[in-house]
Structure 1
Amino acid sequence: LAELESRFKEKEALIKDLRDSIAGLNHRLQENRAAKERVKQRQADIEAQKKECQRWESLHALIGSADGKKYRNFAQGLTFELMVSHANRQLSKMTDRYLLIRDEQQPLELNVIDNYQAGEIRSTRNLSGGESFIVSLTLALGLSRMASRKVRVDSLFLDEGFGTLDEDALETALETLAGLQKGGKLIGIISHVPALKERISSQIAITPLSGGKSAIVGPGCSRVTGSG
């Protein structure tokens, strides 16, 4: 009996040790689960920070620079894109040959798609005088359209350029300007092209005189004499 009691106590002690070990393991398992949850949360936080970092890196790549040049170019590019859009609307009224697009390498430079040359993309630097005049006119009209959102633009003055146009281009340009005049805009043209004299009713003529002087004749012009 004494031997059985001794063995019983040994087994009880062993069971107690095993229970203590199990309790310790359960505690470690709970700590491990909690640690895994913390790691999972931190990984989620890291992924969120990575996405935020990527967003700022993309923004930096787009407009970030120490001197602010990238941002200026980006902002100017948005305005330039809008102006080109307005200019193309005016250009489509004048001819179906050209379409203005931004240069892919130089976003603030212009190219022209020539639909009469199988859609060839040409630099505006390679345009003829007449083509350059039409493009410049449409850009000016597009710019005035943008400005008119906040400031009313009622006047447009053109200095030369008509002499480089062929007969058809000249006719198209004059029709466009006539349409603007009917829309309430004041159009002023400075030119030596004789054909314009036949198309423009209100004219101010400047006639050179001797002694480096000139005479101005036309509506609203009067001779000014100096008082002694």
Structure 2
Amino acid sequence: VLDGAPGQKEVEQAKVKRDKKEKERSDIQEQFQECKSNLQSEKGSLKEAIGEIWNDLDASEVWMEEEQVKGKLQKLELELRQKKEDFQKREKHLQRLVEEFKHKSGLLESQEKQLQELNIKQEEQEKDFQAGLKEQKFSTYASYVRAKEWINGRGERKRRLSEYDARCLEVKTRHEMLCQQSAGKEPAELTEEKEKLEALTASQKNQREKWISLYSKNQRNEEARMKLEKYFGDKESLTAEYEMVNNLSCTANGNLSGSVKLDFETYVQRKYFKQIIQAANRRLSKMTSNEFILQCREIKDLSSQGQAGLDLDVYHLVNDSVRDVKTLSGGESFMASLSMALGLADIVQNTAGAISLETMFVDEGFGSLDDVARDRAIQILQKLAGEKGLVGIISHVNELKSQIEWQLVVKKTERGSHAHWVLE
């Protein structure tokens, strides 16, 4: 093939890539059809639900009391709002799939067009190449390759021919000179000289063999020396690089000798942990009447034995003292845990963008609080419910009943447990 033309391997790779893109387009089209079908089904379900809502309202208005109708309407409006939100999410997902389908379809068409152009170009270049072979009287491609190799070796043959001509000229010159020197002379008896010459020739051959052997050894030793110098040079640079990378690895993994065992992951987590503590302290200070707040233990105060980094301390604002969070009482631990949970919810919503935490459940813990602390905690949760949406409290403390408007009361009987709503 000509230079620059795509080879068979490239064509096969392009075909494989085209088949892969075709499969991706087929998969996206199937997902699109599935989402479209689900969307139509959800629309039908939504219409049916709206119809049932209105039918239920028409049938129940006659006998239901005003408060019951109001509660059911609120529940049905909540369900309708949830279905609308779910419908909007599915519609957005369908739009994203449609856009992705269009993008990948256009990309596949462009690649198919490019592949067709490459195939046409390859066929044209193949035809031109075959025509060129016939024009240059080459019967097969193999004969063309042999001719090309012969042309490439022409310079070497020319050099060897020049050396041969030079040696011939030298021998001819020596022959003419010897003929002139031996003109008019009689041949002498050369038996003894021949023996000396043979001995010298044998000695020369032996010395030459030794020299060749020593030369070969020297060449191998020289190559070994150069490789060793290169290896030693590489070793020094690699050793320096290894020391730097190893130091960075030990630092990132918290394994650096003589320092706090704080890995890179924990170091990054400390940043968000401090944000959560800061958000938690805004509520904890109100619950405790500015008695104490939480703080992340400083790196200089961490232990160098074992992994550390996410330790909590309690800072007393009254007497300016710090102690471990494990020394908190049951009620103080509950208020600290509740504050941390609320702080985590705030940070998640602020950093995640589209995430909205509208519901929270608090399970037990109020029994360990005194009346003042319990009132403060309830006030915080009531304020949070007004901001976020729904806050549920799971508890058996009787004092909470008067402070909670909507109650789902669970009673245990001989025939099992029963639940009913109490609206105050």
Q: Report the TM-score, using the length of structure 1 for normalisation.
A: 0.65
1:98 aligned residue (292, 298, 304): 292
The amino acid of 2:310's aligned partner reads L
> Distance between the aligned counterparts of 1:185 and 1:109, measured in 2?
32
The amino acid of 1:98's aligned partner reads F
User: 1:124: how far off?
Assistant: 1.5
Residue pair 2:408, 2:421 contacting (<8 A) in 1 also: yes
Cross-structure match for 1:170: 374
Cross-structure match for 1:223: none
2:272 aligned residue (57, 79, 94): 79
1:110-154, Cα deviation, whole Å (9 max, x unpaired): 1111223x1221212111111001100110010000111221011
The amino acid of 1:82's aligned partner reads Q
1:155-180, Cα deviation, whole Å (9 max, x unpaired): 11100000000111011101111111
1:125 aligned residue (319, 323, 326): 326
3-state SS of paired residue (1:148) = helix
> Distance between the aligned counterparts of 2:323 and 2:331, measured in 1?
15
> Distance between the aligned counterparts of 1:57 and 1:81, measured in 2?
29
The amino acid of 1:217's aligned partner reads H
Structure 2 counterparts to residues 25-174 of structure 1, below 5 A: 62-64=251-253, 70-94=263-287, 95-103=289-297, 104-105=301-302, 106-116=308-318, 118-149=319-350, 150=352, 151-174=355-378
Cross-structure match for 2:121: none
Distance change (3 Å), C-alpha of 1:219 and 1:77: same
1:209 aligned residue (389, 410, 413): 413
> Distance between the aligned counterparts of 2:406 and 2:417, measured in 1?
19
Distance change (3 Å), C-alpha of 1:152 and 1:110: same
> Distance between the aligned counterparts of 2:410 and 2:296, measured in 1?
40
The amino acid of 2:397's aligned partner reads V
User: 1:208: how far off?
Assistant: 0.5
The amino acid of 2:412's aligned partner reads P
1:180 aligned residue (377, 384, 387): 384
Structure 2 counterparts to residues 186-225 of structure 1, below 5 A: 186-211=390-415, 213-218=416-421
> Distance between the aligned counterparts of 2:254 and 2:333, measured in 1?
34
Structure having the higher helix fraction is 2
Structure having the higher strand fraction is 1
User: 1:61: how far off?
Assistant: 6.0
> Distance between the aligned counterparts of 2:336 and 2:254, measured in 1?
33
User: 1:88: how far off?
Assistant: 1.4
Count of residues in correspondence between the two structures: 166
> Distance between the aligned counterparts of 2:251 and 2:373, measured in 1?
40
Percent of aligned positions that are identical: 32
User: 1:218: how far off?
Assistant: 0.9
Larger radius of gyration: 2
Distance change (3 Å), C-alpha of 1:65 and 1:166: closer
Cα-Cα RMSD: 2.8
> Distance between the aligned counterparts of 1:192 and 1:64, measured in 2?
46
> Distance between the aligned counterparts of 1:97 and 1:62, measured in 2?
38
User: 1:60: how far off?
Assistant: 5.2
3-state SS of paired residue (1:204) = strand
Gaps of 5+ in 1: 1-54, 221-228
Q: Which runs of 4+ in 1 moved over 3 A?
A: 55-62
Residue pair 2:359, 2:388 contacting (<8 A) in 1 also: no
> Distance between the aligned counterparts of 2:395 and 2:368, measured in 1?
11
Farther off after superposition, 189-198 or 93-102: 93-102
